[in-house]
Amino acid sequence: MITRYKEYLKFLDEKLTKMFLNQAPFIKCQEGCAYCCKEGEYPLSELEYVYLMFAYEALALDIKEKINENILELINSKKTKMYQCPFLIDNKCAVYTNRAIICRTFGLLSYDQKGKKKMPFCVDLGLNYANVFKDGIISGNAEDGTEPAAYNIDRRFLRSSKFEEEFNIFFGEDKPLLKWLEEDFI
């Protein structure tokens, strides 16, 4: 199953790379920014969680200990909604190569389930799309004339039966990261 999931991720990452390149005039993501990892729920399917934990298991002991401390602190905090990802170490994702689909797609202008354009929250921080988003609306183009494009990258679509059938995978149950971690670490 993991081999087939890796094939799916290769397919997805090729598509996402094109999307991010197409939106380069609007994207301000850079290593060490990590705003997207500092406040969220991080919904993952069971398959994504298992894959993420493969990367965790392969980490150096000192990094795993930091993550374990983060996880226990998070669990003890009783936060259930918005929290910092426990895999964020020194403003970098410790399990980046095995990150979840929501992490792979974050930063792009997307469509919600009703077809309305949805900005990444970092627009309010002066980051992605901030150069063309004013007063709640897209109000311009990049300096090179490029218009911002929105994509159907909703996680429910990207984890739909269409892809399960095409890649012979099963995503399984969907939960926030914290719920998966509570099951493993309590």
Tokens, residue 127: 């980051």
The SS3 assignment for 72 reads: helix
Q: What are the structural domain ranges in the chain? A: 2-108+156-185
Give 125-151 pLDDT, tens digit per residue: 888 998 888 877 777 777 777 789 999
Q: Are strands 117-118 and 110-111 parallel, antiparallel or unpaired?
A: antiparallel
Give CB contacts under 8 A, 24+ apart, made by 116-119: 117/150, 118/150
Are 88 and 38 contacting, i.e. CB atoms less than 8 angstroms apart? yes
The SS3 assignment for 57 reads: helix
Give the Cα separation of 126 and 163 in Å (integer).
34
* pLDDT band at 153; cut points 50, 70, 90: very high
| pTM for the full predicted model | 0.91
- The type of residue at 114 is K
Instruction: Answer yes or no: is pLDDT of 6 > 80.
Output: yes
* pLDDT band at 114; cut points 50, 70, 90: confident
